Homo-oligomer: A and B are copies of this chain.
Amino acid sequence: MDFALPAELESLLARAQDFMREHVYPLEPVVARKGFDGAKAELDSAREACRRAGLWLPQMPEDYGGRGLPFLHHAHLSEVLGRSLLGHYVFNCQAPDAGNMELLHEQGSPEQKERFLRPLCEGRFRSCFSMTEPDRAGSNPTWLDTKAVLDGDEWVIDGRKWFTTAADGADFAIVMAVTDPDAAPHQRASMILVPTDTPGFVHTRRIAIMGEEGSGWMSHSEIEYRECRVPKENLLGGQGFGFMLAQHRLGPGRIHHCMRWLGLCERAFDLMCERAAKREIAPGKPLGTRQIVQEWIATSRAEIDAARLYVQKAAWTIDTKGLYAARTEISCIKFFVADILQKVVDRAIQTHGALGITEDTPLSAIFRHERGARIYDGPDEVHKHVVARRALKAHGLELGGNG
């Protein structure tokens, strides 16, 4: 058991931290003021700087222009990038594109790779992943209404999706649709690649989340598929493999979400300490002399550090023993870290008093954006059920999927 990081990783993390400070943090107020679409030029220029710094596309192999970082190393990097909501985007390893790249890399045909994956890696394309439906509980991912029917050489897709992150301005979507309605629940759906300029791909609206509609990569859309036709060859992976691939996609994705949340936790922790050290509540008496603020700081420190080790352990298990062996750990970290994120940010806000609910610090934005952390990629309750089911199985009790 060895908790030391390899020297080359330490050095990469340090370079990434420098880059964040120099190029990414200063972008935050710009994006806050202009929105994602409005700040396109500044974002592009930061991406260009990232390429020049040799930090671009850290997670992908070198023949796609990436750095080929091992999974566990990339997990560490994710925390550094996560300190800003813009970090992953600037480095081109942002959700949902990173997950789509991985899917295409592992499952795509040579033609699909050339047409969809390469431009993603180069940053010329953006993409989205179209799974959640308004009328079906996200907690039950095998229960979908969207259908794709083979009509000659084409898939004809019909259905409604929402919370399709980054669909606004995306070049293509990977859509989950039922292709085999009579198969077993986990084998009903397939993934299909749909260029967003296909007739029948209707971008209905950007859904305001916590009061903000956003734009471009920073938005979540409702999409309608109305007799939307794409060539048969746009099937990604095998027919009926949609659910399995989605699971496969989500596992490592959760590691990155968790590491990103820990980055946000550290950011909030720093702001809390800084405020406590500097803000006076009476002449010569800084807020940090108050024992309750000390309690928040200490508890946050412990929670963040324990959580980080847990996520790193889960990443190590995926790396050394595979996704299946890491199932319980992945579910655990998802709800464990999301809970800590919400608590740490809440404490940091309370430490800031009225300032904490303004836009003068990033805390308000984190508080709003990440209330969803306990919901997206499976609500807490679903992950807890999954963990308990396995624990109880070891004691001879078999529970069904919904408990």
* Chain A residues near B (Cβ < 8 Å): 1-6, 72, 132, 137-140, 143, 162-163, 207-212, 269, 273-274, 276-283, 285-295, 297-299, 301-303, 305-307, 309-310, 312-313, 316-317, 320, 328-329, 331-333, 335-336, 349-350, 353-354, 356-359, 364-365, 367-368, 371-372, 374-376, 379-381, 383-389, 391-392, 394-397, 399, 402-403
A309 contacts B320, C-beta separation under 8 Å: no
> A379 contacts which of B138, B207, B350, B403 (Cβ < 8 Å)?
B350
B2 contacts A301, C-beta separation under 8 Å: no
Please indicate the chain B residues that have their CB under 8 angstroms from the CB of A310 in the complex.
Answer: 302, 305-306, 309
A368 contacts B288, C-beta separation under 8 Å: no
Copies of this chain, complex-wide, total: 4
B365 contacts A353, C-beta separation under 8 Å: no
A209 contacts B278, C-beta separation under 8 Å: no
Please indicate the chain B residues that have their CB under 8 angstroms from the CB of A349 in the complex.
Answer: 371
A294 contacts B402, C-beta separation under 8 Å: no
Please indicate the chain B residues that have their CB under 8 angstroms from the CB of A379 in the complex.
Answer: 350, 353
Please indicate the chain B residues that have their CB under 8 angstroms from the CB of A279 in the complex.
Answer: 137
Cβ distance A347 to chain B, nearest Cβ, rounded Å: 11
- Which residue on chain B has the smallest CB distance to residue A402? B282
| Majority DSSP secondary structure for residues of A touching B | helix
A276 contacts B350, C-beta separation under 8 Å: no
- Which residue on chain B has the smallest CB distance to residue A383? B298
Please indicate the chain B residues that have their CB under 8 angstroms from the CB of A387 in the complex.
Answer: 297-298, 301-302
Interface centre among A1, A140, A293, A376 (most CB of B within 10 A): A1
What are 12 contact pairs spanning A and B, CB under 8 A?
A1-B2, A1-B4, A2-B2, A137-B353, A138-B353, A207-B358, A210-B357, A288-B388, A288-B392, A298-B388, A350-B380, A357-B375
A312 contacts B1, C-beta separation under 8 Å: yes
A281 contacts B394, C-beta separation under 8 Å: no
> A403 contacts which of B212, B294, B358, B394 (Cβ < 8 Å)?
B294
B289 contacts A399, C-beta separation under 8 Å: yes
B320 contacts A288, C-beta separation under 8 Å: no
Please indicate the chain B residues that have their CB under 8 angstroms from the CB of A333 in the complex.
Answer: 302
Please indicate the chain B residues that have their CB under 8 angstroms from the CB of A4 in the complex.
Answer: 1, 320
> A281 contacts which of B2, B139, B335, B371 (Cβ < 8 Å)?
B139
Please indicate the chain B residues that have their CB under 8 angstroms from the CB of A305 in the complex.
Answer: 310, 313, 329, 332
Known: A273-B391, A354-B376. 16 other contacts (CB 8 A): A3-B316, A137-B353, A138-B354, A140-B281, A140-B282, A273-B394, A276-B395, A277-B396, A288-B399, A297-B388, A297-B391, A298-B335, A302-B332, A349-B371, A350-B379, A367-B371
A397 contacts B286, C-beta separation under 8 Å: yes
Please indicate the chain B residues that have their CB under 8 angstroms from the CB of A293 in the complex.
Answer: 388
- 6 nearest CB pairs, A to B: A294-B388, A298-B384, A277-B395, A291-B291, A277-B397, A298-B387
Please indicate the chain B residues that have their CB under 8 angstroms from the CB of A320 in the complex.
Answer: 4
Cα–Cα, bound, A95→B61 (Å): 53
Please indicate the chain B residues that have their CB under 8 angstroms from the CB of A274 in the complex.
Answer: 395
Cβ distance A104 to chain B, nearest Cβ, rounded Å: 26
Please indicate the chain B residues that have their CB under 8 angstroms from the CB of A365 in the complex.
Answer: 211
Contact status of A384 and B3, CB under 8 A, knowing A277-B392, A282-B140, A358-B209: no
Please indicate the chain B residues that have their CB under 8 angstroms from the CB of A285 in the complex.
Answer: 402
- Which residue on chain B has the smallest CB distance to residue A379? B353
A301 contacts B332, C-beta separation under 8 Å: yes
Contact status of A353 and B375, CB under 8 A, knowing A358-B208, A384-B299: yes
Please indicate the chain B residues that have their CB under 8 angstroms from the CB of A3 in the complex.
Answer: 1, 313, 316-317
